[in-house]
Amino acid sequence: MTTNGSNHGPKLPKQQLAIMAVARVAEPMAYTSVFPYLPSMVSSFGVPTNKVGSWVGITSGVFSIAQSITAVAWGKASDRYGRKPTIILGLLSTMICFIIWGMSTSLPMAITIRAIQGGGNGNVGIIRTMVAEMVPERSLQPRAFSIMPLVWSLGSIIGPSFGGFFAEPAEQYPHIFGHIDFFKRFPYALPNFILTIFFLISVTVATLFLHETLPSKRGHRDWGLLVGERITRSFKGSRPTPSTRRPSFVDGEATSPLLPNKTMPKKHTREQPGNAKRERVITRQTAMNLLAYTFLAFHSVAYDQILSVFLRHPVEEHTHANTSFPFYFSGGFGMSHSQVGSIYTVYGIVCGAIQFLLYPSLVARYGVLRCFRVCCLLLPLSYFLTPYCVLFPTSQTRMAALLGVMFIKAAGIIVAFPSTTILLTNSCTSLSVLGTLNGYATTFSGLGRALGPASTGALFSWGADNGYIVTAWFFLMFVAIAGAIPAYLVEDGDGPTASAATSAENSDTEHSESPSSSSSSTILLPEDSAIASGSEDEDERPLNKAGSLQEQGYGTMEGGGK
């Protein structure tokens, strides 16, 4: 385990996780900002009201299907070229497509740009890989893997607010935007323009301060980090001293690539090219985890997408002629853009509170696997109850019932997603194939995210036409029940850290027996490194018996990603 001296337990690399969170936050904001206005946008293209649900599902689905097609390629690119450059490229691609998508003038254009946006970003799997490489210690994984879902919750608070409040600004705020022809022609461009600011912040922070985690790339000079260090130094007003210079979370590359006054043997800094090929990416347990994750993505994303259509769907007065409990009834909530945005904002706040306050303690007490299985049974209940909220007699009681059901769904999904990420990571055989495995996870979950909204949207449209509004929600309930089956076949594995630790231990034994081997494998740190100077830091690693820096969960440097 990662320790900070003999009397200290493992600690999170808080600084790098925080930087990654800032780099990540723009994407969930962009993704969720379309929920409040997407039904109106589709309707503005001339789609009939009874077909809006179907086309909303298709428009949402093409993003995920394109993402699933390119996910493995993005994962392999990150394994070859590094995690950091692929993340930055994905952010830039999403930002450009997001701006263009807001100016769509037809349904084919909107669908095409949405597909390009999905295919041009593989950051979901890559970020999971980076977190796993930063935090290989199982005791820290629940808290580390809950950070990105927490960022998603934060983004889902801000995103829908922007989408609901700034869509169609010429109509919502005529005294401010009513005389601007651009916003009359492109009524959904303003929220996208505003969110571009957050993309620029994410790209800048990632470029200047995010460290590479791919073992074969950590010894390379990073000009972005160099510029970031100079900027930081200018604000501090003095040159950093050895005691204040912070190392990387694994091997001190924050200092050694930028200020190299000692060299590392090149033959030991690269991964062996055959390692990833010899390791099995798909095993029985990874297959079960991928299946469970795909089901989870299918019904959870479909629920969020079709809920926006349900909230915008016109209210119907329920009479004996059009209502026959428990299945035959219709109607929605008839909300405006801003009201839908407010609902999603409240939903996001609750998700964030659950993620931050409840998830770590629940996992610590009951374990990741047990929490995941319970939540897989909790989600079908929320899907079953959702359509019946429209049967309450007043708008206040309908809203209270809906929020209650959404909170149940929030509790289930916020615990389930980081749990399945941890379980998938721990089912991996080696860190050298973790990027590829997360690429497969993005592919399969992308298929779920594509098929879920498309199929549920079609069922919602059929149900709305025929008086069975429950159809889409019951479909999601049965899918969630089916998704609970692989959840009970999943086991909590030892993870890639186990084999890596064994490799490192064997390497230590060989080094101690052979002085020449020890000297050739020792990693020489810069003398002004914080590790070399013995300063206390949350990211330090202990030195092994041969004097080399032992990376817990990675093995020594020459072990590559294994």
| 414: in domain | yes
Give the Cα separation of 360 and 145 in Å (integer).
10
CA distance 362 to 369: 11
pLDDT the model gives residue 322: 81
Is residue 169 in some structural domain? Answer: yes
Selection from 61-70, 228-237, 249-258, 380-389 with the highest mean pLDDT = 380-389
Q: Each residue of 168-225: pLDDT tens digit?
A: 999 989 999 989 999 999 999 999 999 999 999 999 999 999 999 888 887 788 888 8
CATH number at residue 197: 1.20.1250.20
Supply the range of the domain harboring residue 399.
14-210+279-487
% pLDDT > 90, the chain:
30
Residue 366, H or E segment: helix 359-366
CA distance 431 to 553: 8
Contact by Cβ (8 Å): 76, 202: no
Let me know if residue 308 belongs to a domain: yes
- Whether pLDDT at 131 is above 90: no
pLDDT above 70 coverage of the chain, percent? 78
SS3 187: coil
pLDDT band of 311, cuts 50, 70, 90 = very high
299 band by pLDDT with thresholds 50, 70 and 90: very high
The residues with which 328 forms a beta bridge, in sequence order, are: 324
Q: Does a structural domain hold residue 141?
A: yes
What's the structural domain count of the chain?
1
Dig out the tokens for 70 from the structure. Answer: 């390119």
Higher pLDDT, 535 or 226: 226
Is residue 99 assigned to a domain? Answer: yes
Q: Is residue 331 part of a domain?
A: yes
Per-residue pLDDT band for 94 (boundaries 50, 70, 90) equals very high
Does the pLDDT value for residue 416 go beyond 70? Answer: yes
The more confident residue out of 554 and 118 is 118
> Which residue is associated with the tokens 């320790």?
3
Rounded CA-CA distance 468/486 in Å is: 30
pLDDT in tens, 428-478: 777 667 777 877 887 788 788 888 888 999 999 999 888 899 999 999 999
Q: Answer with the residue of higher pLDDT: 71 or 256.
A: 71
How far does CA 300 lie from the centroid of its chain?
Answer: 14
What's the predicted TM-score (pTM) here?
0.67
**Cβ density class 62-92: b for 16+ within 10 Å, e for less:** bbbbbbbbbbbebbbbbbeebbbbbbbbbbb
Query: Helix (H, G, I), strand (E, B), or coil: what is residue 468?
Result: strand
Closest CA to 429 of 271, 214, 283: 283
Q: How confident is the model at residue 498 (pLDDT cuts 50, 70, 90)?
A: very low
pLDDT digits (tens, 9 = 90+) for 232-263: 888 876 555 443 333 444 433 333 333 333 33
Task: Give the pLDDT mean for 392-404.
Answer: 92
Distance CA 331, CA 311 (A): 10
The identity of residue 23, as a single letter, is: A
503 vs 528, residue with greater confidence: 503
Distance from C-alpha of 420 to C-alpha of 372, rounded to nearest angstrom: 7
Residue 72, pLDDT score = 82
pLDDT of residue 321: 81
- Asked whether residue 269 is domain-assigned, the answer is no
417's tokens: 């997603």
Convert 529-556 into a string of H (helix), E (strand) and C (coil): CHHHHCCCCCCCCCECCCCCECECCCEC
The amino acid at residue 375 is: C
Domain-located, residue 67: yes
Cα gap 45→24, rounded to integer Å:
32
